[in-house]
Amino acid sequence: QSALTQPASVSGSPGQSITISCTGSSSDVGGYDYVSWYQQIPGKVPKVMIYHVTKRPSGVSDRFSGSKSGNTASLTISGLQAEDEADYYCGSYTRRSTWLFGGGTKLTVL
């Protein structure tokens, strides 16, 4: 079980939009609409921001959105704010009834 592939880091200025990709295979990301995204601020526990590819839990800003094409899922944050600076992880259910996370992406707000 290899981890899903994410860029190690992305950055953007306040007000801009950024996109983080998450690449897996047809056995996980591509095979199910069960991709989720988690935000982890240093020293804090992860928080779900997107689930089932595109759905937002109540209380999560609509600046966060998700999508998927083939074996690659994406998280887009629009109107970037300083408070968005964190590590972001994608996660996916797999064909083996297990879960995989991506390696994580560090978002820096310039």
Partner 1 sequence: QVQLVESGGGVVQPGRSLRLSCAASGFAFSTYGMHWVRQAPGMGLEWVAVIAYDGSNQFYADSVKGRFTISRDNSRNTLYLQMNSLRREDTAVYYCVKAPPGPNYYMDVWGPGTTVTVSS
Strand ranges (E), 1-55:
9-12, 18-23, 35-40, 47-50
Nearer of residues 32 and 82 to partner 1, judged by Cβ? 32
Q: Is 47 in the site for partner 1 (CB under 8 A)?
A: yes
84: helix, coil or strand?
helix
- Least CB distance from residue 11 to partner 1, whole Å? 19
The interface region with partner 1, picked from 11-19, 65-73, 74-82, 102-110 by CB under 8 A, is: 102-110
Radius of gyration over alpha carbons of the chain, in Å? 13
- Least CB distance from residue 81 to partner 1, whole Å? 23
DSSP 76: E
Q: Is 102 in the site for partner 1 (CB under 8 A)?
A: yes
State the binding string over 72-91 for partner 1 (x if CB under 8 A, else -).
---------------x-x-x
How far is 83 from 37, CA to CA, in rounded Å? 17
